Chains A and B, each alone.
Chain A
Amino acid sequence: MIIGTVLAGFLCLGLCGLLFNRSPLIHRAVYTGCLVLTSVLVGDGLWHIVQSGQEAIPSMVLPFGLPWLKAHFRLDSLSAFFLVAINFPSALASLFGIGYGGHVPEPKRVTPLFPVFLFAMNGVLISDDAFVFLVSWEVMSLSSWLLVLSDHTNPEARRAAMVYLVMAVFGTFCLLSAFGLLAGPTGAYGFVTMRNAHLSPLAGALVVLLALLGTGSKAGLVPLHAWLPLAHPAAPSHVSALMSGVMTKVAIYGLIRILYDLRSDVGWEWGFVMMVLGAVAAALGVLYALMQRDLKTLLAYSTVENVGIIFIALGLALAFRDHGEIALSALSLVAALYHVVNHALFKSLLFLGSGAILQATGERNLDKLGGLLNRMPITGFTFLIGACAISALPPLNGFVSEWLVFQSLFKGPTVAHWAMRFGVPVVGVAMALAAAFAATCFVRAFGIVFLGRPRSKQAEAAVEVPYSMQIAMAIPAVLCLCLGVFPVMVTSGIATVVEPLVHVVLPAAVLGWPWLSPVSLTAGSYSATMVLLTGAGLMITTLLVVHHFGNRAIRRAPIWDCGHREEIVNSQYSADSFAQPLRRVFGSVVFRAREQVEMPPPGEMSPARFSLSMSDPIWNGLYLGIVRVIDAIADRVNLLQFQTVRRYLLMMFLTLVLLLLVVAVRQQ
């Protein structure tokens, strides 16, 4: 009931934004409204998670939609969990939007669509039939597409929107087919009947494949990720935070809903496939991120990596479930959902940070930034926390979820099949590599943007953003720390969410608070509180030791100038030079990165030139390949457009005669 009212509220806000788009006040009012409504949804979702198991699952049937199929809504604990995971970052983005929304290139193209986007994402979560699900999904795609297109004068944004639209249509088509197969010939589109549907093995496999393609294309799974690094950065930053931090989670919700709730007999092979795809996405995604010069593109590629990690955990959960290892399956699911929450938090934080940087300097290019920490201390500090969290440094939240994924990954060989036995170590290595790359990537991002000296006039003139935006970044930063320091509370909360899916309650912790040891006492345990206390203790001890036993004599020496002369800021480490070692090792193979130095001939005064070329293997190989094939077919078919009248008649006639012949022959 509350949710219905809130969703209607979103639509009203959208309408308000559309009708009164002239006054700048209304933009703020719309974002404030969104903030209030999303906060209500967060509260409602939390309430349902706490209440779960004690009362019946609330559901509702509304008389619209297809005539023979009314609109069904239902809020089980999985929906409630995602309701929280999605609306909390949305609330932050709305809060950020209050200050930021007026500064985007064309506010009146963004403000009305923002609430509609939120409305559609929540609609996906609470739907209980395929029709409502798909309609909400499509409204979500289209509203976000329009948001990407809001900066329509920019040809890059137009291209991004085009690619995004094609991929969104592809994804929806896959999901539509998957639900069609699930509904069967009777067209039972309610999720209730789908749960009990009996499918042939082929149809079952097709459903899984189509669901993977459909949700994977929205979540940004390699190789369906091509639209993501184009579209996410093209939208205004608070919308990018929504798309990257939130919309990908809606896709993951869709996958969990289909594979874990609607289908209960998915084979472990699919889990293996998902695990491997996830590992590829994780390693490749972060490798791409490492090569980017654009801050928002970098963050978008990092989303691909994190989605990959979530897919690894989800795949493991499937494999475990098929082999009857229910407890391990629950553990993997908990790890996946934990990472969902974490990624939603820190990716929103980082995108909001990039928005703040964009507003302060007007730059997204890493090589035009630098030295912002002194000029924007709050943004810098919160961005640092986000970067640490996404790099999985303890005691922050990113570490806990990735550690849980690793814990369940180490248990992978329990599934007695050679593929899992050999696959798990490879996936583990890929994920470890991805984690290390992610750390490098964010050291590079933070270091180039916030440290050193400003590389441009705009960066030099940057000032801190308004308070509302600072608060919107500070809240997730604090939460990143909280979710990292009190993991047992989170895992036990998520365990109740997972329970209806796997029918087992994960033992919260073998040792109990503050030790998180999901598998067993000896296999591995982690206490963030202990880490934090130990770290703090060591720091204090060091400080005391230095203060007490250090030499108090004052020395005078020339200060270190970071290895470059102050007036030549370009001789600092640049984004490209920082990435060079990894680019040479991995990029030369994966991206065919080539460096070329053109030295002037002796005696000439012109400068030497360094140029770098890279190519995207997936875009050039897969996507352009498909485009080429389609072009070739279109060229052939195009001949049909330019025939003579008589030849058209001839073709019709021959087709007719041919069909008649077929009929005649088949009659015999």
Chain B
Amino acid sequence: MNPAEHLASFGRISYDTAHLIGAVILMMSFGLLYQRRLTAVIRTYSLQAMVLALAAAWQALVQDAPHLYASALIALLFKGIAVPFALNWLVRRLGIHRTVETALGIGPTMIAGVGLVALSIVLVLPVTASSTAMTRENLAIAMSVVLLGLLMMITRRNAVTQVVGFMSLENGLILAAVGAKGMPLVVEISIAFSVLVAMALFGIFFFRIRERFDSLDIAYLETFRGERR
């Protein structure tokens, strides 16, 4: 695709809207990194999932692929509502400390995040030179979201924030999946299931840590394994 065509796709409403929604999802990822309170983190995550549902729905409309409505619905109901609700319930039920405990300060994390976004853009744009502009931008944003999710998992101490980071990573994957043309629903369902399984696993994990150590800080787990004295 030559630059002229590339420029030409900017004016189109389908492209611009998809781009906007993608950017909002990316912003939400930064928001996740920025929040200092657990409830706010969960709320941001919920918002991100809802925007993701919007992105899927928009893609369904633009690509004329009705099965993407189903994945939009899954994203909305399951990720946007059920999971944040469950997490909130966990936080209240377990009486978890409401501040986000960071391993790396908020500022450096944000800078690292910007670097990662730059990396994924540098990486994705040349690789996908032959595909449509929509796919390209979409993939770059999705990859940034995935990397930011990973970043969140490693720079936050609390297990709840790690779970949120993991699920935000999944959001990035789904964003990539809905953006690519002709991706069958099977894949999305499997991804949704994997999140579900992860959720169940982490739920059990929480209770176990809680039962044993009376805290959700994974540092206690490390002490238990004899790595920290």
What are the residues of chain B within 8 A of A582 when measuring CB–CB?
none
Instruction: Write out, one digit per residue, whether chain A residues 636-652 have a CB within 8 A of any chain B CB (1) or not (0).
Output: 00000011111001101
Q: Evaluate whether A664 and B123 lie within 8 angstroms (CB atoms) in the complex, with A645-B221, A646-B154 already known.
A: yes
In contact, B222 and A644 (Cβ under 8 angstroms):
yes
What are the residues of chain B within 8 A of A642 when measuring CB–CB?
225, 227
Is B86 located at the chain interface by the 8 A CB criterion? no
Q: Evaluate whether A664 and B227 lie within 8 angstroms (CB atoms) in the complex, with A645-B222, A649-B153, A653-B151 already known.
A: no
In contact, B222 and A650 (Cβ under 8 angstroms):
no
In contact, B222 and A664 (Cβ under 8 angstroms):
no
Nearest to A661 among chain B residues (CB) is B119
Q: Evaluate whether A649 and B227 lie within 8 angstroms (CB atoms) in the complex, with A660-B119, A663-B123, A664-B123 already known.
A: no
What are the residues of chain B within 8 A of A661 when measuring CB–CB?
119
What are the residues of chain A within 8 A of B157 when measuring CB–CB?
646
Q: How far is the CB of B172 from chain A (nearest CB, A)?
A: 13
Residues 104-158 of B contacting A (Cβ, < 8 Å): 116, 119-120, 122-123, 126-127, 147, 150-151, 153-154, 157
Distance, CA A216 to CA B220, complexed state (A)? 55
In contact, A650 and B154 (Cβ under 8 angstroms):
yes
What are the residues of chain A within 8 A of B225 when measuring CB–CB?
642
Is A599 located at the chain interface by the 8 A CB criterion? no
What are the residues of chain A within 8 A of B116 when measuring CB–CB?
657
Nearest to B103 among chain A residues (CB) is A646
27 A-B contacts (beta carbon < 8 Å): A642-B227, A644-B222, A644-B227, A644-B228, A645-B218, A645-B222, A646-B103, A646-B157, A646-B218, A649-B150, A649-B153, A650-B154, A652-B150, A653-B150, A653-B151, A653-B153, A653-B154, A656-B147, A656-B150, A657-B116, A657-B147, A660-B123, A661-B119, A663-B123, A664-B122, A664-B123, A667-B123
Q: How far is the CB of B151 from chain A (nearest CB, A)?
A: 7
Q: How far is the CB of A662 from chain B (nearest CB, A)?
A: 10
Residues 34-88 of B contacting A (Cβ, < 8 Å): none
What are the residues of chain B within 8 A of A643 when measuring CB–CB?
227
Nearest to A652 among chain B residues (CB) is B150
What are the residues of chain A within 8 A of B122 when measuring CB–CB?
664
Distance, CA A650 to CA B218, complexed state (A)? 15
What are the residues of chain A within 8 A of B126 when measuring CB–CB?
667
Q: How many residues does chain B have at the interface if contact means C-beta atoms less than 8 Å apart?
A: 21
The interface size bin for chain A is: 10 to 19
Q: How far is the CB of A667 from chain B (nearest CB, A)?
A: 5
Nearest to A643 among chain B residues (CB) is B227
In contact, A649 and B222 (Cβ under 8 angstroms):
no
The 9 closest A-B pairs by CB, nearest first: A649-B154, A644-B222, A650-B154, A664-B123, A667-B126, A664-B122, A653-B150, A649-B153, A653-B154
Distance, CA A646 to CA B228, complexed state (A)? 13
Give chain A's interface residues, CB within 8 Å of chain B. 642-646, 649-650, 652-653, 656-657, 660-661, 663-664, 667
What are the residues of chain B within 8 A of A660 when measuring CB–CB?
119-120, 123
What are the residues of chain B within 8 A of A657 when measuring CB–CB?
116, 119, 147
Distance, CA A217 to CA B126, complexed state (A)? 52
Distance, CA A660 to CA B140, complexed state (A)? 13
Distance, CA A657 to CA B123, complexed state (A)? 11
Distance, CA A645 to CA B217, complexed state (A)? 12
Distance, CA A653 to CA B151, complexed state (A)? 8
What are the residues of chain A within 8 A of B120 when measuring CB–CB?
660
Distance, CA A590 to CA B218, complexed state (A)? 58
Distance, CA A85 to CA B153, complexed state (A)? 68
Nearest to A649 among chain B residues (CB) is B154
What are the residues of chain A within 8 A of B103 when measuring CB–CB?
646
Q: How far is the CB of A651 from chain B (nearest CB, A)?
A: 9
What are the residues of chain A within 8 A of B150 when measuring CB–CB?
649, 652-653, 656
Distance, CA A652 to CA B154, complexed state (A)? 10
Q: How far is the CB of B130 from chain A (nearest CB, A)?
A: 14
Given A653-B154, A657-B147, A664-B123; 19 other pairs, CB 8 A cutoff: A642-B225, A642-B227, A644-B219, A645-B221, A645-B222, A646-B154, A646-B218, A649-B153, A649-B154, A652-B150, A653-B153, A656-B147, A656-B150, A657-B119, A660-B120, A661-B119, A663-B123, A667-B126, A667-B127
What are the residues of chain A within 8 A of B227 when measuring CB–CB?
642-644
In contact, A664 and B154 (Cβ under 8 angstroms):
no
Q: How far is the CB of B101 from chain A (nearest CB, A)?
A: 11
Q: How far is the CB of A68 from chain B (nearest CB, A)?
A: 35
Nearest to A644 among chain B residues (CB) is B222
Nearest to A650 among chain B residues (CB) is B154
Q: Which of B122, B154, B227 has the most CB of A within 10 A?
A: B154
Distance, CA A642 to CA B228, complexed state (A)? 11
Q: How far is the CB of A647 from chain B (nearest CB, A)?
A: 8
Nearest to B157 among chain A residues (CB) is A646
What are the residues of chain B within 8 A of A656 when measuring CB–CB?
147, 150
What are the residues of chain A within 8 A of B221 when measuring CB–CB?
645
Q: How far is the CB of A655 from chain B (nearest CB, A)?
A: 11
Nearest to A656 among chain B residues (CB) is B150
Residues 170-228 of B contacting A (Cβ, < 8 Å): 218-219, 221-222, 225, 227-228
In contact, B153 and A664 (Cβ under 8 angstroms):
no
Nearest to B104 among chain A residues (CB) is A650
What are the residues of chain A within 8 A of B127 when measuring CB–CB?
667
Q: How far is the CB of A55 from chain B (nearest CB, A)?
A: 65
What are the residues of chain A within 8 A of B123 when measuring CB–CB?
660, 663-664, 667
What are the residues of chain B within 8 A of A649 when measuring CB–CB?
150, 153-154
Q: How far is the CB of B171 from chain A (nearest CB, A)?
A: 17
What are the residues of chain A within 8 A of B222 when measuring CB–CB?
644-645
Distance, CA A555 to CA B172, complexed state (A)? 113
Q: How far is the CB of A347 from chain B (nearest CB, A)?
A: 55
Distance, CA A660 to CA B146, complexed state (A)? 13
Nearest to B165 among chain A residues (CB) is A649
Distance, CA A646 to CA B101, complexed state (A)? 13
For B119, give its contact among A644, A646, A650, A664 (CB under 8 Å).
A664
Q: How far is the CB of B149 from chain A (nearest CB, A)?
A: 10
What are the residues of chain A within 8 A of B147 when measuring CB–CB?
656-657
What are the residues of chain B within 8 A of A663 when measuring CB–CB?
123
Nearest to B221 among chain A residues (CB) is A645
What are the residues of chain B within 8 A of A667 when measuring CB–CB?
123, 126-127
Distance, CA A183 to CA B219, complexed state (A)? 55
Q: How far is the CB of B114 from chain A (nearest CB, A)?
A: 14
Distance, CA A664 to CA B228, complexed state (A)? 38
Distance, CA A644 to CA B222, complexed state (A)? 6
Q: How far is the CB of A415 from chain B (nearest CB, A)?
A: 59
